[in-house]
Structure formats: C-alpha cells, structure tokens
Amino acid sequence: MPRVQLHDKTFEPFIPADELERSIDAVATELNRTYAGKRPLFLGVLNGAYFFAAELVKRITVECEITFVKVASYHGTQSSGQVAQLLGLNERLNGRHVVVLEDIVDTGNTMEHILALLKDHHPASIAVATMLFKPDVFKKDFPIDHVALRIPNAFVVGSGLDHDGLGRNLPGIYRIVP
Ligand code: IMP
C-alpha cells in the first residue's frame, strides 16, 4: 500500500485490511456470546461507523437489530459547554440492550455525550463497541466494553475514518506522517 495525500497531509499504511477484519471477528465473537437471546440493538454513529457496523453485523449470529444515529453538537445558549443531540433515533430504547458502535474513541468526549443521551431512554443495558481505541488519550471513567484494535496516539484515516471528508474509502488504516 503506497502513501496517500489527503488535502495537506500525508498518510502511510498502518494496519492492513485483513488484520483489521480479524480484530472485528474477535469483537463479533464476544458479542455473540454476550448477547445470545437478548436481541441487541446495534446503534452505529454516523458517518464514521458505517464500515465497522457493516463488517461487524455480518458476523453477528444472534437475532439483532441495527440502526444509525448522527451526533449534532452545538453551543447551547444557556450553558458554557457543548450540547449534543442525537439525530435519527426512531427506535424505542426502553428495556433494550443497546450496543453503541463507534469508529474510534479518542478522548471519549463524544461517547460520554452519547451515553448520557441514551441513558435518558432507559435501556436495559448500554455497551460500547469501537473499531479503534486510543487508550493513552482516553481519560474517562466509563468502560469501553469491546475494542477491535488499540492504537497509539496518532491521527488515522481509512475504513470509515476521515481527514476533513477524505480517506473514509481507504481499505485498512493509514497513519499521519508527522
Ligand atoms: P473523541 O470525542 O475525542 O473520543 O473523538 C471521537 C471522534 O473524533 C471520532 O468519532 C472521530 O470522528 C474523531 N476522531 C478522533 N480521532 C480520530 C482520528 O485519529 N482520525 C479520524 N477521526 C478521529
């Protein structure tokens, strides 16, 4: 795999597609074991998680449902911090076993907002499954339950992850060249 140029940045091959797929296999095995008989609702976070969601659910053998949401964040007028809203959530989550699917968990800020919003819907359980996780950056105290691959703190693209709109289509994962 050669280097690629996306806007002003250069990226080099980092994780080959077959290694990424094997790690997604392992997450699917965990989930099949954990959710047997529970009919989980997989909730993919757009845009980035479309690839992980598709690769994961084709390996899920238990009865399940899948849907997608978008996170819109804006500065509220009443508060000094960021306010997040989930767009496109039409399913009733009350009493359901929800598994949030993310492309990457970095600081965990985004996931913290998502989990807070989902808890308002009173699901029976909430778990997080992410394709990539940067443990050195993550500073939150909630668990990241299912991780396909742990990576060092570097900006990456490919398999759904983008740099300013580009790179989502690249197979495998590419890392920024400093
Ligand atoms: P967090 O809120 O810091 O955990 O970051 C989560 C979001 O930031 C992800 O859903 C991505 O959209 C984006 N992000 C974080 N790290 C990367 C990266 O290395 N490449 C591309 N996007 C990233």
| Stated pTM of the model | 0.95
Nearest CA residue ID for atom 11, ligand 1 = 104
User: Burial of 34 by CB count in 10 Å (0-12 exposed, 13-18 middle, 19+ buried)?
Assistant: middle
Alpha helices (H) along the chain: 17-34, 50-57, 109-119
Is 31 strand, coil or helix?
Answer: helix
Question: Is 3.40.50.620 the CATH number for 17-151?
Answer: no
Most distant CA atoms of the chain, gap in Å: 49
**d(CA 46, ligand 1 centre) in Å:** 12
Among this protein's residues, is 103 annotated catalytic? no
Residue among 137, 161, 170 whose CB has most ligand 1 atoms within 8 A, to mutate: 161
Full DSSP string of 64-81: -EEEEEEEEEEE-SS-SS
Q: Determine if the peptide bond prior to 47 is cis (ω within 30°).
A: yes
Predicted confidence pLDDT, tens digits, the chain (178 residues) = 799 999 999 999 999 999 999 999 999 999 999 999 999 999 999 999 999 999 999 999 999 999 999 998 776 555 455 768 899 998 999 999 999 999 999 999 999 999 999 999 999 999 999 999 999 999 999 999 999 999 999 999 999 999 999 999 999 999 999 9
Residues within a 6 A CB radius of ligand 1: 48, 102-111, 155-157, 161
Q: Roughly how many angstroms between the first and final C-alpha of the chain, as a whole number?
A: 18
